[in-house]
Amino acid sequence: MAFLKIENLRKSFGKVDVLKGIDLEIEEGGFLVLVGPSGCGKSTLLNTIAGLEAISSGSISIAGKVVNDLHPSERDIAMVFQSYALYPNMTVAENIGFGMEIRGVPKPERDKAIAKVAETLQIGQLLTRKPSQLSGGQRQRVAMGRALVREPQVFLFDEPLSNLDAKLRVDMRTEIKRLHQRMGTTIVYVTHDQIEAMTLATRIAVLKDGVLQQFGTPAEIYNKPANLFVADFMGSPSMNLIPATVEADGGNVGIVMQRDEGAPLVLPLANGAAVNLAARNGQKVVFGIRPEALTDPDSADRNARQVSELDCEIEVIEPAGSDTFAVTRLGGREIIARLRADAPISAGQTARLAFNLDKAVIFDPETQARIL
């Protein structure tokens, strides 16, 4: 059953429509990540869930109760802000206890709750400090402590890690995931970082221009992107999207990609895929394949049902330590292949690359939607 449910949510600022009919739901204990480029409406969506922005139409319900018109403090939520938003004039303990103080919780009870949260987050020694005396990571913990102490039904995170340096960000990411596993509270998390989205989420909602592009598990989003935008946005390096043509000859269907020199590259498709595409004979499509599905024959997935090996001209080699990235050209585009670190390959030469067609997807360039 859906714990947090958003139905046909619309929000406009004057004449500008920021959210254009969003439908989302997440089960109790789920981790929903809202991801998208800046200006896609993800933070606005979070603010409407929090009650910090009024909605124009639609409904938001938490645990079966419609909260559209409730004050933020009555929705049983807690929020961690991008800037942490710690009250500068209060100590860490006062920051964490402010909400309880406003609600009139007696001091001994408050102190007990603060101590408990401080222990969970290991910030006990910071309780008497002011926010200005804390490092970025410590401020982040205090901001999370202020949310934890409420024991809410839903946690809202608004890009909580974007102000931390790279190393700390990875640590805190793990910590958030650990906290979620331990407490099992429902979380809605906004980020523009698709790696954060993939690592944390049980469900991902990809937004663009106020429209929900795709809503699904991280694996669905990654392996079966609903359209070209999602395919391009999720994953790093991003998916290779190659202009191609369908060529059907009786029962055999192939994908044809132009090369700068030499004959076009033809990838034969397996029967299942072939049936679906046969009707599109001669039409243009976009062939999508992730860099890790395009590799040297030795690294190719042994369990894949359908792998095609073809010779490609390698233009550039980018060793990255754990892997080597090779750049080639197909259909007039730069294509990135991900090889094992010591693959015997060098720039300017022809190398054999294995296309794992199990992992390939095909899009309609007109509608941008995935057709296979």
Partner 1 sequence: MSAEKIVGTGRGNRFLRVVLYAVLILFALYYLLPLYVMVVNSVKPLDEIRQGDMLSLPQIFTLEPWAKAWSSAQIGVQPTGLRPYFFNSILMVVPAVAISTILGALNGYVLTKWRFRGDDVVFGLILLSCFIPFQIALIPAARILGMLGLAGTTTGLVLIHVVYGLGFTTLFFRNYYAAFPTELVRAAQIDGARFFQIFRRILLPSSAPIIVVTVIWQFTNIWNDFLFGVSFGDFDSLPMTVALNNLVSSSGGVKEYNVHFAGAILAALPTLIVYIVSGRYFVRGLMAGAVKG
User: Which residues form the interface with partner 1 (CB under 8 A)?
Assistant: 47, 50, 52, 71-73, 77-79, 81-89, 98-99, 102-103, 130-134, 136, 139, 146, 163
CB of 118 to partner 1, least distance (A): 17
Nearer to partner 1, 146 or 180 (CB): 146
CB of 92 to partner 1, least distance (A): 11
CB of 82 to partner 1, least distance (A): 7
* Long-range Cβ contact pairs of 251-254 (< 8 A, separation 24 or more): 253/277, 253/278, 253/281
Q: How far, in Å, are 5, 46, 55, 59, 186 from residue 23 at the CA level? A: 8, 13, 14, 9, 17
CB of 78 to partner 1, least distance (A): 7
Backbone angles phi, psi at 50, to 5 degrees: -70, -25
Query: Minimal CA–CA distance to 196: which of 47, 84, 323, 35?
Result: 35
Nearer to partner 1, 140 or 295 (CB): 140
Nearer to partner 1, 135 or 349 (CB): 135
Q: What is the Rg, in whole angstroms, of the alpha carbon atoms belonging to the chain?
A: 25
For residues 79 and 141, give the distance between their C-alpha atoms in angstroms, rounded to a whole number. Answer: 13
Please count the other Cβ atoms lying within 10 Å of the Cβ belonging to residue 342.
10
Cis peptide before 264 (omega within 30 of 0): no
Nearer to partner 1, 113 or 246 (CB): 113
For residues 11 and 44, give the distance between their C-alpha atoms in angstroms, rounded to a whole number. Answer: 8
Nearer to partner 1, 99 or 124 (CB): 99
CB of 140 to partner 1, least distance (A): 10
CB of 36 to partner 1, least distance (A): 20
Nearer to partner 1, 38 or 303 (CB): 38
